Structure 1
């Protein structure tokens, strides 16, 4: 048996910009607080890395600049970065190019630079609309900055604007969540990402939680918050197309759909992860070794791993089940040459019988009522692929 998409050319690029003004209390991403000179050196190294990358051979359909806070870079550095991107890569005419941003890091000048270079989607890390909650989680902005940033992006011509929300925060109430959702609905956004707070090891929140200093809402309250977010957004015309993501029709995050459909993508920058030719790779996570490797003319890939066939099949199913569309059995058959029902015979039958899985056309999906417990359903597929 083979993976017929293994050699498919990637049409997506992820770029990691690791700088933040300060570190949020819940964050375990690869981020650094550095000087403007360090940011300039990093942009030069990143553009040099692009020159070392093998050409994808096809125009890119999406590019995503994540972080960190990509818009912490100055307007002149953003101009340099995006000019180099356009010189190095070809893009499809309708390509989606996304920048993550924190509301306190954006200016009209920066927004104009982004638009000049074809960036057409911006994602603001709002998290909440209550100043006391923003301060409690270590954000560097307050509510007014969120609203000002979104309206500025809209006025400058961004047609696709996302706002991130978090729930399950310390001392957060149902009323806080409802107020935040309403605040988003009052803004010109076409996409909302709503995430549970996860206490990650090594973060200040992890330490404070062990000491008993975090007053978290608890699982039942979090489930009610999730349902509230879902009801309010869907009632306002948003489509709940992925377990944590909502979009007005046509506003879906095309780059993230590449991940959820288990398609290949390029990656560059400190700590970035890529997936090409059946192989997952990770870039050097530490800034100094990354910079030194570039200076020596070597692309700083820290590790590569060929993904076994059974794991690729699991990924195809588990990632696809995050989506409302589900995992397409026809595509699974085209990709792997065997029916999904064959490869995961016992799992499919059991989950269908228990009502934890349903079939719509050629796709299998998790019924809406069970999205809050989706992780327990994903676990059923791990190690269950019969590839013989």
Structure 2
């Protein structure tokens, strides 16, 4: 059963040096036409949407806030027309702090957006320039002030560590600002240098100086300790919240449940089939205009693959994988399917098994990707 909808807005006014998501520089792009075709793609999912109880909507990018107020309003009008909103508990939009005006925020709130996810990344101004970010700390403070005035129930911030030449002191300062601002949800990721990014090209030329593994591990350890001291609950490898402000949408992914992905380059999981849409705008738009879903790839997930995904997605959560849920879904016990792997991982002290759950230990969180490999047959 489909639980969530993801909508991709692939436009940016500035391309960040680390970003490998499907995105296009805003200038001279067919933005209005793209929004209309998003509405047409929603129509193509009419039967799945009518049969579902949609709990979450997440608008990501790219940069959704790169749209004008008029374009945002048209997007929200299409969402209201095609997606059942009665059961929505979380409606998130990603945002760049320097593009999120008071007027845009009021508009978004009036259409039901109740969670803002801001790409802050760091509070160090020099590192912001290295990343190719265009906002300042003042933009962040202003957005938070406006959000409180308007009445947004939740704000999330993305932070990054392991950045080029980043020091421990710079990382500590970013976390201190988050705590001072009392942001209820934090996603904190280590930098991954991906192909087709500015950082990748620099690294290939030996011109990207990154912190070593030891310093990056120290940053992650400090993150977990300080979040705990400040009353945050770490509910996933990279995500922390307080006051029940976990990302309900991302939990759909980690629970291995189904969701619809809309837009150029979006991914989805519907009726046991994982799919990805065409990324190039022209190909995506031409396919929609022909009244076809813009699939680039479709893959029916086998029972074995479902069990694998249940493990490597579920183990990202601090709660881990409930053994009874696994049995109810697949008709087999975890011990029967993965007994050898579980035994080895327990001996390494990377996982623990208690209270009907299999979960990563603190030690295991540092080597999560190695743990996940055990379940890929």
Distance 2:362 2:161 in 1: 19
Decide whether the 8 Å contact of 1:151 with 1:187 is kept in 2. no
1:148-187 CA distance string (max 9 Å, x none): 2222222211111000000000011000000000111121
Written as runs of structure 1 = structure 2, the 5 A alignment for 1:1-388 is 9-35=1-27, 38-56=30-48, 57-383=51-377
Deviation at 1:71, TM superposition (A): 1.0
Residues in 1 aligned to 2:314 and 2:255: alpha-carbon distance in whole angstroms: 6
What are structure 1's unaligned runs of at least 5 residues?
1-8, 384-388
What is the deviation of 1:35? 3.2
Give the CA RMSD over aligned residues: 1.3
Decide whether the 8 Å contact of 2:185 with 2:240 is kept in 1: yes
Per-residue deviation at 1:377?
1.1
C-alpha separation in 2, matches of 1:11 and 1:241: 20
Q: Secondary structure at the match of 1:265?
A: strand
CA–CA distance in structure 2, aligned partners of residues 55 and 180 of structure 1: 45
SS in 2 for 1:51: helix
Q: Unaligned stretches of 5+ in structure 2?
A: none
Q: Identify if the C-alpha distance between structure 1 residues 362 and 129 changes in structure 2 by more than 3 Å, giving closer, same or farther.
A: same
- Normalised by the length of structure 2, the TM-score is 0.97
The answer (yes or no) to whether the contact 1:29–1:68 under 8 Å persists in 2 is: yes
- State TM-score, norm by structure 1: 0.94
Measured after TM superposition, the shift of residue 94 of structure 1 is 4.9
1:140 Cα offset (Å)? 1.6
* More off after superposition, 239-248 vs 361-370: 361-370
**Equivalent residue of 2:370, what SS?**
helix
Q: Secondary structure at the match of 1:241?
A: strand
Describe the superposition over 1:99-119 as per-residue Cα deviations: whole angstroms up to 9, x where unpaired.
000111110111011110111
Q: Report the Cα distance in structure 2 between the residues aligned to 1:59 and 1:356, rounded to whole angstroms.
A: 36
Q: Deviations over 1:264-300 (max 9, x none)?
A: 1111100000011111011111001111122222221
Deviation at residue 95 of structure 1 after TM alignment: 1.9
- Superposed displacement of residue 36, structure 1: 6.9
Q: Is the 8 A contact 1:314 1:381 kept in 2?
A: yes
State the 1:198 CA deviation.
0.4
How far apart in 2 are the matches of 1:204 and 1:71?
A: 23
Separation in 2, partners of 1:360, 1:54? 43
SS in 1 for 2:261: strand
Question: How far does the alpha carbon of each residue in 1:208-238 deviate from its partner, in whole angstroms, 9 at most, with x for none?
Answer: 1121211111110000111111111211111
Partner of 1:6: none
Q: For the Cα contact (< 8 Å) 1:279–1:306, is it kept in 2?
A: yes
Shift of 1:311: 1.1
